[in-house]
Structure 1
């Protein structure tokens, strides 16, 4: 448990993903006063009773100490394999639309809906959890509200286009999951030692390969990771970071082009997520001559607080811009 300065809490917030559960006691300005974690993700639980038990374990003490606080949850807890299947909100989706879509299982928290983008011209895209981080980002930084691109790196990276404080479209890249699959279940992983040190130069080489020769195709360049190792062009210790740079580089190549196709002109670009991963994306963005204008840590607590206010569960009060 991480304890911050004493303050009167306004909300209990949960980020309930597939494999893990994070809970926060949130202050009136979005500050996290206390945090708890549990290996009780939505995909590890089965049945209503199991979810109630996990919910009580992680937040029961807070709910007893602070009766009446609203409790909101985001993430895969609202999916078909979660506690309650909460219907997606369709783009364009802002705080008001998401707040209107809150649903609550018996004995549980209000669950934030995910977001669906489906303009029928391309396959649909979905998110659960990232929409809450986007809401928190926009409430904390008013410079992003009119028009911006918010990128959320991760297992399934999201590139979200913001217009008038709403998510108007987004694109998902399975960059993190693809890296894990290739590392663990392909011939590439056999060449990569588990204890190899982080190699920033190898990462940059991978990014540059995607930037300069991405027209050769991702599938071809992925195999080049093996051929570079087999021929000794790259030492085995460098291959994992080269692969990471290659995959992130292809994501940025596509994402920046997708962003430019929106035709909205210059607009801020923000990175939101784990600091170490955002730092890696920022290095890659520099190689594309487009560094992020803002780099932010997890904004889900502020997003949950903003959604509680939008739903009328708390008095309206603007969060401070930072």
Structure 2
């Protein structure tokens, strides 16, 4: 049997299981993605209550894979390991690398003959600061470091999303991180506050106006003073009332303002903690990462690169650390 044919054989089922969705990856024994599946059966939409719901959702998305290859190991990351998940994988204190994730993992019977090994989340609990947590992003980070060795010594990873994360990497470990509720606050303000009443859908013929409004929001954050935030967000209404900004671009202004405040804070924290060494990488949904890259450019901060979804590779690295798989030598180089 040729090495090429061997590398096409499945070696791992990897689950990225969040609150609103479940993604399953069938990985070959060189770590490559052979198949990808996705459903809306996240923690909030299980087909049955309790453990039976997790078992059915897993069987629905991966049961035929196991029928064909019953000995495949299964690993999972994300909110599936939270207190509301299939089985809680308690938070691990920083500093953490993928080996620590493996040592603090938990297992749960899948209901179809194999156990599912679940990765824990991370806890940062410093005496002088409120605690902070990550669950799910640690797997993406493991994948990002595996595919970008230059980041291992020192790097800052910015992960935009509903709850954005700023993560500091030092000597291959996650040493510090900060969470920002930027995406969630944007959604709440647009959908459930008076600000959203003037926000019409963007006009397709005004991309330059949208970019200018976004930049105006970032600049407002850059030049803000302590305590200005709640005053500044009201401008997302008054700029429309006075017609200083067209209604279709008010969302862009608000987005720039919120992202700008996140960047100003994140960069200041990194500087105060002397976490300025190493490249800055964006990880997440491409269009959102592009928006963050635009905001960084406005602030004059270079971004090394953008990475879409390193979760499959991170789950592979987690499985390797667990000793569940033994890839061919040099298969991932």
TM-score computed with the length of structure 1 as normaliser:
0.93
Q: 5+ residue gaps in structure 2?
A: none
Q: 1:203 to 1:223 in 2, by over 3 A?
A: same
Q: Tell whether the 8 Å contact from 1:203 to 1:241 is kept in structure 2 after alignment.
A: yes
Who is 2:36 aligned against?
35
Deviation at 1:196, TM superposition (A): 4.7
- Residue 164 (str. 1) matches residue 171 (str. 2): yes
Worse-superposed segment, 205-214 or 31-40: 205-214
Task: Tell me the matched-pair count.
Answer: 317
Question: Following the alignment from structure 1 to structure 2, what is the Cα–Cα distance between the partners of residues 259 and 60?
Answer: 45
Structure 2-normalised TM-score?
0.90
Aligned to 1:89: 92
Task: Label 1:181 to 1:319 Cα distance change in 2 as closer, same or farther (>3 A).
Answer: farther
Secondary structure in structure 2 of the residue aligned to 1:143: helix
Shifted more, 129-138 versus 191-200: the winner is 191-200
- 1:312 shift after superposition: 0.8
Deviations 1:239-297 (A, max 9, x none): 01111111111111111111112214431111111111111111111111112112111
- SS of structure 1 residue aligned to 2:10: coil
Q: 1:276 aligns to what?
A: 287
The structure-2 alpha-carbon separation of the partners of 1:158 and 1:102, relative to structure 1 and needing over 3 Å to count, comes to same
**Whole-angstrom distance in 2 between the partners of 1:277 and 1:30:** 27
Question: Is 2:300 the partner of 1:289?
Answer: yes
> What SS does structure 2 have at the residue aligned with 1:271?
strand
Q: Secondary structure in 1 aligned to 2:264? A: helix
Q: What is the alpha-carbon distance in structure 2 between the residues aligned to residue 194 and residue 23 of structure 1?
A: 34
* CA distance in 2: counterparts of 1:164 and 1:178, whole angstroms: 34
Task: Show the counterpart of 1:114.
Answer: 121
Rounded to whole Å, the distance in 1 between the matches of 2:215 and 2:32 is 35
* Aligned partner of residue 149 in structure 1, secondary structure: strand
- Cα pair distance change 1:149/1:186, threshold 3 Å: same
Q: Retained in 1: the 8 A contact 2:158–2:166? A: yes
Q: Which residue does the alignment assign to 1:26?
A: 27
Q: Would you say 1:298 and 2:301 are equivalent positions?
A: no
SS in 2 for 1:309: helix
Q: Note closer, same or farther for the CA distance 1:315–1:84 as it changes in structure 2 (3 Å cut).
A: same
